[in-house]
Amino acid sequence: MAHDLALICDGCSKPITDDAGYLWVDNREVSRTEHAFRKWEAEHTDAIDGSLSFTGGAIFDIPEKVRWQVHHATCDPAPDASSYDIPATKIRSWAELLEWTAHLMEKSWLTHTDWQDILRGVHTSDRRLVTVA
């Protein structure tokens, strides 16, 4: 299969060329953020008509999205963290990226992560998932 994409390690900034690493998100961070978001939502929901209402400033209190991280197993700062992993060997083509995206879209928690930035990053300065020439 063609290799269109490569993961770049957050730790050593080198590409992950074989099965020595992964793209991952911390499950506990995700559930913490999900919880904080529900709380924020509840605090800003109108008790009468159930609509979301908030003033400009409150938008900054929305919990920040959990960042997907990229690491070689040997560079991983939290190897024992409970995590959702995508092995580097399984996300090397556009087709695979599309498949993962479709798969992740079925997860209720995806919205609390920065997967959009991973997708956008392929063509911007985000250096987690890059195109290979």
- 6-31 residues labelled b (16+ CB within 10 A) or e (exposed): bbbbbeeeebbeeeebbbbbbeebbe
11 lines the binding site for Zn ion (CB under 5 A): yes
6 lines the binding site for Zn ion (CB under 5 A): no
Sole binder of Zn ion in the list 75, 81, 110, 119 (CB under 5 A):
75
9 lines the binding site for Zn ion (CB under 5 A): yes
What does residue 30 show for φ and ψ, rounded to 5 degrees?
-65, -45
C-beta of 96: minimal distance to Zn ion in Å? 21
Q: Given the rule CB under 5 A, which residues bind Zn ion?
A: 9, 11-12, 72, 75
